[in-house]
Structure formats: C-alpha cells, structure tokens
Amino acid sequence: MYSRAYKSLVSVPPLLWVALFLLLPYVLMFAHSFWAVQQGVIVHHWNLNNYKTLFAKPLYVEVLFRTMRIAASVTCCSILLGYPLAYFLSFHARARKELLYQLVIVPLWVSYLVRGYAWKTILGSDGVLNGFLQYLHITHEPVAFLLYSPFAVVLMLTHIYTPFVFLPIYAALEHIPRPLVEASHDLGANSFQTFFRVILPLSMPGLLAGATFAFLLTLGDFLAPLLVGGPSGTMIANVVQSLFGAAFDWPLGAAISVFILMLTISLLFLSEILEKRWAYK
C-alpha cells in the first residue's frame, strides 16, 4: 500500500539522524578508548592501556564492584517494595484501583533532582530525619552514616526506581486471567501456593523487565553519588565523569564508558532471552 517514495521518505531522515548523532558519537567514543593522553593533550596513539588500567588498578576495580553491589541492592529493594504494591493493587484493590495506580505513577513525572535533593535534606546531620529522631529522643546525636554513604545512594535510588519497577510488574499481573487464580484455588491451593505456583511464574517477564531497568540505570548513575554518596559512595560513573572533568583523561574515561556500554548491552541481551523463555501465552 505504501509507495517506495513514501517508505524512503519516512525511513531516511531518522536513519540519517540516528547514524550521525547516535552511531557516530558512539564510534568516536569507541575510538577514544584506544587513544592516550600525553602532557595534557589527547594523542591518537592506538593502544589497549586504558582497558588494562580499568581492570588492573585496584581503585577502579573496587569502585566497579561497589557499583555492582549498589545496583544489585537498589534492584532488590525496589522489587521488594514494588512487587507487593503491584500485587496489592492488581488483586486486592477494588474501586480505587485506578486512582491508586495514578498515585504510584505521579512520582515518575517529578524531577529526579527534586527527589534526590529531598533525600539530601532529610538524611543530613542537620537534616529532617536526624531532627525527628532527636525530637523523639531516640537518638541524642546525629546519626552519621545516613548521608554521604553507599546506604544513602541505595536509599535514594530505591526511592526513584520503585515506581519504575512497579509498572511492568503491574502490567504483567493485570494480564494474568483471573480464572487461572480461581482454578488454582479450586484445585486445592491456598493463596500462598497459588502465588508461588501460578502468579509469580506468569509475572516473571514483567519482573525481569523492571529489574533490568533498575539495575542498568543505577549502574550508570553519577548524580546520586554526587548528591548523597560522598567519597565512600562513589560509583563507576563518577570516575568517568571526573576523567572528563578535572582529572582530564578522555581516553581512559571513554574506555570505562565503552565497558559500561558493553555491560549494558550484554545484560539487555540476556534479559531479552530470559524474557522470551519465560513468556507464556
């Protein structure tokens, strides 16, 4: 039905744009990762040193593992918060289901910065939480580890990503035909058994999608550590950011970025395979 001219007209501009402004920049970044810095200038000496540095230097390895741990923690916590909420809304909320759903979505539209800043004001030594605890005489001094620690980063990012994780899980739960739940009860399974044998397996694709999203976005986040992480809460993206800033070493920064990019693509690929395997009709 569509002429060749039509098809060319719709395909060419986005293809060109994407090639120029997405593909080419990635290629450039890839190229940079093989170059070096000499006396404050980037020189095009092709080498693999940057990658060696990434995996050899203890500092970088440590930060990398810390980042993975934080990403895993955020993912787990978001699921622990988001899944029961999605389950409650899908199976137990009645008249107010739609309203509650919108209420969960609202924070997604609210600025990341706003929410991160909110945590900063809450967790600080002079912050609201400490003030609250002291007001109730639960503590007598500010609790230190609340702010400027990996704990704060996990807390903040869990807050940000719980609604993100909620969405695909809720969608998957809503797609489970209710007669299946009734059939399970009919055959003698109580709610607990029904959840683990029927509902959870059928919601896996949604769970996986949400988990992947939370994990990958946390992996590359450099703002949360800057806001609430402090020195002990630095993540790999901060390392990159400083290499493009004060610590001027673009090739090394590019190498780490390429590594993050490869990691992201691999995890996406893995996630997609698993999703296909676990998707039942």
Partner 1 sequence: MSASAANSPEQASNSTGALLEVHGVAKRFGSSDVLKNISLDIASGEFLTLLGESGSGKTTLLRLIAGFEQPTSGEIWMSGERLDTLPPYKRRVNTVFQQYALFPHLSVRDNVAYGLRVKNTPAVEISGRVEEALRMVKMQDFAGARPSKLSGGQQQRVALARALVNRPQLLLLDEPLSALDANLRMQMRSELKSLQREIGITFLFVTHDQEEAMALSDRVALLRNGALEQVASPREIYARPATAYTAQFIGQTNLLRGEILRGIATCGVLRWPLEEADGPAIFSLRPEAIRLCADGKRQTTEVKFNGAVRQQLYGGATELLEVECGPGQFLRVRLPASGPITGENEFVFSIADAIRVQE
Partner 2 sequence: MSSASPTRRAPFLALYSVLVFAFIYLPIVVLVVYSFNREGVGGFPPRHFTLNWYAQLLADGSIWDSVLNSLFVAAASVVLSLTLGLLAALALDRATFPGKALFRRFVLLPLILPGLITGLSLLMFAVFAGVQLSLITVFFGHGTALISVATTELFAGLQKMDCAQEEASLDLGATPWQTFWRVTLPNLKLSLIAAGLLIFTLSMDEIAVTFFLIGRDNTLPLEIWGRLRRGITPEINAVSTLIFAVSVALIVIWYHVRTRSLGTQAQELIERP
- Tell me which residues in 202-221 interact with partner 1 (CB under 8 A): 202
| Closer of 181 and 252 to partner 1 (Cβ) | 181
Backbone dihedral angles phi then psi of residue 100, each to the nearest 5 degrees: -60, -40
Give first-to-last CA distance, the chain, whole Å: 32
Q: Is 184 in the site for partner 1 (CB under 8 A)?
A: yes
| Closer of 150 and 163 to partner 2 (Cβ) | 163
Q: How far is the CB of 211 from partner 1 (least distance, A)?
A: 19
Alpha-carbon gap, residue 180 to 91, rounded angstroms: 13
Q: Is 43 in the site for partner 1 (CB under 8 A)?
A: no
From 31, 81, 198, 267, residue interacting with partner 1 (rule: CB under 8 A): 198
Q: Out of partner 1, partner 2, none, which partner does residue 93 contact, by CB within 5 to 8 A per kind?
A: partner 2
Q: How far is the CB of 15 from partner 2 (least distance, A)?
A: 7
Q: Is 24 in the site for partner 1 (CB under 8 A)?
A: no
From 25, 84, 201, 245, residue interacting with partner 1 (rule: CB under 8 A): 201
Q: How far is the CB of 208 from partner 1 (least distance, A)?
A: 14
From 193, 262, 270, 273, residue interacting with partner 1 (rule: CB under 8 A): 193
Q: Is 182 in the site for partner 1 (CB under 8 A)?
A: yes
Q: Look up residue 274 and give its amino acid.
A: L
Helix and strand element counts for the chain (H, E)? 14, 2
Q: How far is the CB of 201 from partner 1 (least distance, A)?
A: 5
Q: What is the DSSP string of 42-55?
A: EE----SHHHHHHH
Report DSSP state, residue 141: S
Instruction: Give Cβ neighbours of residue 97 (< 8 Å, ≥ 6 apart).
Output: 89, 90
Report DSSP state, residue 199: I
Report DSSP state, residue 125: T
Among the residue ranges 194-202, 211-219, 235-243, 252-260, the one whose residues contact partner 1 (CB under 8 A): 194-202
Q: How far is the CB of 184 from partner 1 (least distance, A)?
A: 7
Beta pairing class for 36-38 and 41-43 = antiparallel
Alpha-carbon gap, residue 172 to 79, rounded angstroms: 14
Q: With beta carbons less than 8 A apart as the criterion, state whether 256 and 241 touch.
A: no
Among the residue ranges 52-60, 71-79, 158-166, 197-205, the one whose residues contact partner 1 (CB under 8 A): 197-205
Q: With beta carbons less than 8 A apart as the criterion, state whether 167 and 203 touch.
A: no
Q: Which residues bind partner 1 (CB under 8 A)?
A: 177, 179-180, 182-190, 193, 197-198, 201-202, 280-281
